[in-house]
Structure 1
Amino acid sequence: MASTPLRRLFHWGPIAVLCIIKLITWAMVHLIGMWWPPTESVGGAVHAAVFLLFAASTLYYFLQSLMEGPGFVPLGWKPDKEEDKECLQFCSVCNGYKAPRSHHCRQCGRCVLKLDHHCPWINCCVGHLNHASFVKFLLAAVIGCLHASIVLSICIYHAIHRIWYIHNGTGSEPMIYLTLTTLLLTLLAIGMAIGVVLAVGTLFYFQIRSILKNQTTIEDWIMEKAVCRHMEQGLRPFVFPYDLGRKRNFEMVFSAGYDGIHWPVRDGCGEYDLTLEQLSQKRDKLSRSRLYRCVSRYSGRWLPLLQSPRAALAAPCSTEPRLPLREGDSVRVTRQRRYWLFGEKLTGSGEGRGPRGWFPRECAAPAERSRGNHAKPD
């Protein structure tokens, strides 16, 4: 189940963000107070006020995107019309249908409205309700850290070279004085600020590009597969139904006029075009899958060093779960790597759907071969 806003806050991601904000803010306030005292200079006061404005905005929009959450599809949701169920995917975890543009998040444990991605820094998904706040958080963080990285770098330079400035012509010479501890903390703050500018700035660019296309990160992947599928099968090009033009696309993220379930589409497109394309892609994926049978038990450990050293050294770089298996279990494999397989455990007669995840390749064999192996006498 989805965690409460307060529980989301007590996680390494939000705690790390709060520590970074505090460190950079402390360094700026501490050094500006010596280099350009706000109480004695209009320029210093403006400098401090501008930074504190962006620091406060970063904190505010960060907490808003975390506390508000992405918005979840109601448990057990189904469309108003019975015939529309054939156009939607069913989520066995939430025991309901996935609304258009919604997807299930394993970390949140719920189907998320207009899911873009799961962000560990806010410890929840970026979705319909908090997408605008998340983008504002990124913008404020980038501008504030760009300002901080420039000012702190100048202050460090003056502190190291012991440059003094005549203040108001009185002969007083304010000096930037740093102890070893404050010097190291300031250097760390500069590194953090530059890192935020580069990493978060890149994320902000991709978010703006997605917003102008009205296309989430997941929908971007779906469109890539749709283009290839339609080209390979000789179908007419697939048209993304939610691209209404840059101005309207921008408004759809930053306005509150949508419920997250019903979305306007461009002329000539249907409400369920994208979900029908997803269903077609899943059918194609299922037709290419292979049935495997477990030949040796796998505990589900992420690094099975004793059982499979080669697989442990080449583990998938993914947050997707591992799939514990017992001898005789059947798995429908949809993805393969050199030492790992990804699939879904089959239950009952082989048609029931079970948990999914990665498991070492040497723990299973294609169903025909594994049956042949078991048929041999000892």
Structure 2
Amino acid sequence: MTPKTQKMITIYWQFSNIPKYVFSSVHSFFQKCRITFRSLTYNHFMDQSYMADICMGPMFWFVDNFTNTIGTLLVIAVVALTASVVIIAYWIGIPYWWNRNYLICIFLVSFGHWLLLNICFHYYMAVFTHPGFPPEGELIAEAVSICKKCIAPKPPRTHHCSVCNRCILKMDHHCPWLNNCVGYRNHRYFFLYMVYMVAGVLFIILAGFDVAYTNLALSVSELDYPELEGHSVKINRTGALIPVTDAILLDSSLLGEDLDYEPPNPWKRKAIIYMALINCGVLIALGALSTWHAQLISRGETSIEANINKAETLRLSELGKVYRNPYNFGPRKNWQLFLGLVQGRSFFRNVLLPSPHWPDGDGLTWHTIHDSYDCT
């Protein structure tokens, strides 16, 4: 190459493009990795609900495997707490009202034992009555689907309980405080137990208010009364001024004998505070739960069906249609069916008094609003 044909080549370094080039390369690399990962883990059914189920899987596993264990402990706790409240009522409440007015005491004892009888009966039946299971190894003509976990026919209103590991007829929920599922056969016992328990704690709160006031407020005020400075007098429990000598002040037993004064028992005060905390907590918790279940019963649905019906209502509303619960016969008939007040049964004999009668039907077939059905 001659000098004449030789050309000069100039290279321009543009350092300002280096960050852009690096960012583009890194972004392209991560995009390839993302596409590769998604192609290897692709799932057509992937959505937010599916991801939530996966993330909550460990929690579900813990509940499924340990609910039966802690359920027994919770049943023992319910029995122990109920027994403690009854014992304290016998220890403090009955003597107080007997000394004050024996007629009121007789009424309170009779009414309280009626509530206690219903509470014990319905809790026992809710715990030891099986909720109802589909027949195993038989062809169920009423089945509407197949349970994916049991691989068995599933009748209407039946759902699979992961804790019991089997299908439950008209399942409402699994209650750890019962260590049992709430379903077709024991739903009435569960609800009436809550109602009578709420009535029972409300009864104790109302009947024990005067007891608590007397043993807490007045006893505290008596203990805190100071001696009046400059005067040899003290205030007795009635508020009157009485002369006090040094000998009487030193001898508390003589003071109690002369004034008919019983020193407050600190254990009674602790027991009353314990009763107040337990009863108020139960009143709030079971009061709200029983109110919610009463609303479900009025609509003719269980807690599981409430979620299903809500989803169906939203789905059909988007299509311009109205969803109707096929098991909602109106509040009055819904309550009659739930309480089993059919075939001549009465509210007084079968609701106000303990009654072991079975619900109407067999739990496999259900009448709907499309049937001409009379529950009387």
Residue 253 (structure 1) aligned with residue 338 (structure 2): yes
Residue 42 (structure 1) aligned with residue 103 (structure 2): yes
Provide the C-alpha distance between the structure 2 equivalents of 1:267 and 1:210, rounded to a whole number of angstroms.
20
Question: 1:113 touches 1:261 (CA, 8 Å); kept in 2?
Answer: yes
Q: Specify the alignment match of 2:304 in structure 1.
A: 218
Provide the C-alpha distance between the structure 2 equivalents of 1:69 and 1:211, rounded to a whole number of angstroms.
20
Provide the C-alpha distance between the structure 2 equivalents of 1:55 and 1:218, rounded to a whole number of angstroms.
30
Where in structure 2 are the equivalents of 1:184-333 lying within 5 Å? 184-232=270-318, 234=319, 236-255=321-340, 256-267=359-370
Secondary structure at the counterpart of residue 100 of structure 1: coil
Provide the C-alpha distance between the structure 2 equivalents of 1:112 and 1:95, rounded to a whole number of angstroms.
14
Question: 1:37 touches 1:44 (CA, 8 Å); kept in 2?
Answer: yes
- Give the AA of the match of 2:328: D
Residue 149 (structure 1) aligned with residue 149 (structure 2): no
Provide the C-alpha distance between the structure 2 equivalents of 1:246 and 1:253, rounded to a whole number of angstroms.
10
- Give the AA of the match of 1:223: N
Q: How many residues in Structure 1 have an aligned counterpart in Structure 2?
A: 251
Question: 2:70 touches 2:176 (CA, 8 Å); kept in 1?
Answer: no
- Give the AA of the match of 1:239: R
Distance 1:204 1:222, change over 3 A: same
Distance 1:187 1:79, change over 3 A: same
Residue 134 (structure 1) aligned with residue 219 (structure 2): no
Residues 316-365 of structure 1: CA distance to partner in whole angstroms, max 9, x if unpaired?
xxxxxxxxxxxxxxxxxxxxxxxxxxxxxxxxxxxxxxxxxxxxxxxxxx
CA RMSD of aligned residues (A): 2.9
Provide the C-alpha distance between the structure 1 equivalents of 2:175 and 2:101, rounded to a whole number of angstroms.
42
Q: Specify the alignment match of 1:329 in structure 2.
A: none
Give 1 or 2 for the bigger CA radius of gyration. 2
- Give the alignment partner of residue 11 of structure 1, picking from 72, 89, 93: 72
Provide the C-alpha distance between the structure 2 equivalents of 1:122 and 1:228, rounded to a whole number of angstroms.
34
Provide the C-alpha distance between the structure 1 equivalents of 2:295 and 2:153, rounded to a whole number of angstroms.
29
Residue 27 (structure 1) aligned with residue 83 (structure 2): no
Distance 1:135 1:38, change over 3 A: farther
Provide the C-alpha distance between the structure 2 equivalents of 1:20 and 1:115, rounded to a whole number of angstroms.
28
Provide the C-alpha distance between the structure 1 equivalents of 2:307 and 2:264, rounded to a whole number of angstroms.
50
Q: CA deviation at 1:40?
A: 7.2
Distance 1:218 1:184, change over 3 A: same
Provide the C-alpha distance between the structure 2 equivalents of 1:69 and 1:176, rounded to a whole number of angstroms.
52
Q: CA deviation at 1:77?
A: 5.0
Q: Specify the alignment match of 1:288 in structure 2.
A: none
- Give the AA of the match of 1:210: L
Q: CA deviation at 1:251?
A: 1.8
Structure ranking higher in strand proportion: 1
Residues 61-112 of structure 1: CA distance to partner in whole angstroms, max 9, x if unpaired?
10011111311222345432xxx76xx3322443311110010111122211
Provide the C-alpha distance between the structure 1 equivalents of 2:287 and 2:212, rounded to a whole number of angstroms.
24
Q: CA deviation at 1:174?
A: 9.4
Structure ranking higher in helix proportion: 2
Where in structure 2 are the equivalents of 1:50-65 lying within 5 Å? 50-65=111-126
Distance 1:224 1:148, change over 3 A: same
Provide the C-alpha distance between the structure 1 equivalents of 2:158 and 2:81, rounded to a whole number of angstroms.
32
- Give the AA of the match of 2:188: A
Instruction: Give unmatched runs, 5+ long, in structure 1.
Output: 1-6, 166-172, 270-378
Identical columns (%) = 23
Q: Specify the alignment match of 2:163 in structure 1.
A: 107
Secondary structure at the counterpart of residue 37 of structure 1: helix
Question: 2:92 touches 2:268 (CA, 8 Å); kept in 1?
Answer: no
- Give the AA of the match of 2:133: F
Provide the C-alpha distance between the structure 2 equivalents of 1:44 and 1:175, rounded to a whole number of angstroms.
23
Provide the C-alpha distance between the structure 2 equivalents of 1:91 and 1:79, rounded to a whole number of angstroms.
13
Instruction: Give unmatched runs, 5+ long, in structure 2.
Output: 1-67, 223-236, 239-258, 341-358
